[in-house]
């Protein structure tokens, strides 16, 4: 089994968990922010939804220059869920297409022409693509708690959901 194939079950499992968290976004609170410098609930949800697809585009290249992040319109919960479904499928297709040699090859990331990181593709997928989403999913669960929305089980029982 290739390294990429070994990652696919985790991608699938974590995507289902992330979807459960995204489904809890209250439609009437997408503009809510816990702090003026924070993303709104809708912006955070959409960031979680579209980032995997953007990072999958980066993963297929040998180098990528990070430009400005586009500002997205305020989303609806359904737009977030639809975007996440498409994004998740793209990630599975891209990662599933890599053999071990491709996973070992480096990706160089730059900002304004200056190298900020050069790492093996496998490390990019694990550290930048996957862990990035888990981090923001954790943020989103805090937003939900602050809004008194029941937080789903993520890696075990939550105060609101006890699956076992």
We report the CATH number of the domain holding residue 103 as: 1.20.120.450
Q: How many Cβ atoms are within 10 Å of 122's Cβ, its own excluded?
A: 20
User: What are the structure tokens assigned to 135, written together?
Assistant: 């981090």
Residue whose structure tokens are 């789903």: 152
Closest by Cα among 104, 107, 103 to 116: 107
Could you tell me the residue range of the domain that residue 109 belongs to?
A: 3-146
Task: Concatenate the DSSP letters of all residues of 18-87 into one string.
Answer: HHHHHTT--GGGTT--SSTTSPPHHHHHHHHHHHHHHHHHHHTSSEEE--PPPPPPPPPHHHHHHHHHHH
Q: How many Cβ atoms are within 10 Å of 141's Cβ, its own excluded?
A: 17
- Whether 155 is in a domain gets the answer no
Residues in the chain: 164
pTM of structure: 0.93
- Whether 44 is in a domain gets the answer yes
Write down the pLDDT at residue 73: 67
- Whether 100 is in a domain gets the answer yes
Are 120 and 103 within 8 A, CB to CB?
Answer: yes
- Whether 31 is in a domain gets the answer yes
- Whether 154 is in a domain gets the answer no
Write down the pLDDT at residue 68: 78
pLDDT in tens, the chain (164 residues): 999 999 999 999 999 999 999 999 999 999 999 999 999 999 999 999 999 999 999 999 999 998 777 776 668 999 999 999 999 999 999 999 999 999 999 999 999 889 999 999 999 999 999 999 999 999 999 999 999 999 999 999 999 998 88
If one counts the domains in the chain, the total is 1
Q: How far is CA 126 from the centre of its chain?
A: 11
Are 95 and 56 within 8 A, CB to CB?
Answer: yes
- Whether 19 is in a domain gets the answer yes
- Whether 158 is in a domain gets the answer no
Residue whose structure tokens are 């040699």: 101
- Whether 160 is in a domain gets the answer no
């Amino acid at each position: 089994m290739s390294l990429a194939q070994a990652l696919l079950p985790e991608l699938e499992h974590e995507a289902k968990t992330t979807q459960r968290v995204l489904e809890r976004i209250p439609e009437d609170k997408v503009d809510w922010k816990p702090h003026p410098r924070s993303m709104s609930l809708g912006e955070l949800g959409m960031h979680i939804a579209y980032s995997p697809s953007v990072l999958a585009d980066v993963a297929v290249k040998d180098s990528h220059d990070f430009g400005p992040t586009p500002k997205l319109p305020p989303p609806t919960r359904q737009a977030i869920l639809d975007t996440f479904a498409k994004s998740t499928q793209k990630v599975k297709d891209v990662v599933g297409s890599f053999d071990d040699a491709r996973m070992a090859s480096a990706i160089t990331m730059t900002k304004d022409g200056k190298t900020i990181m050069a790492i093996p593709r496998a490390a990019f997928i694990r550290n930048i693509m996957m862990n990035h989403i888990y981090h923001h999913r954790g943020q989103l669960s805090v937003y939900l708690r602050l809004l008194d929305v029941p937080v789903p089980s993520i890696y075990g029982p939550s105060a609101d959901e006890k699956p076992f």
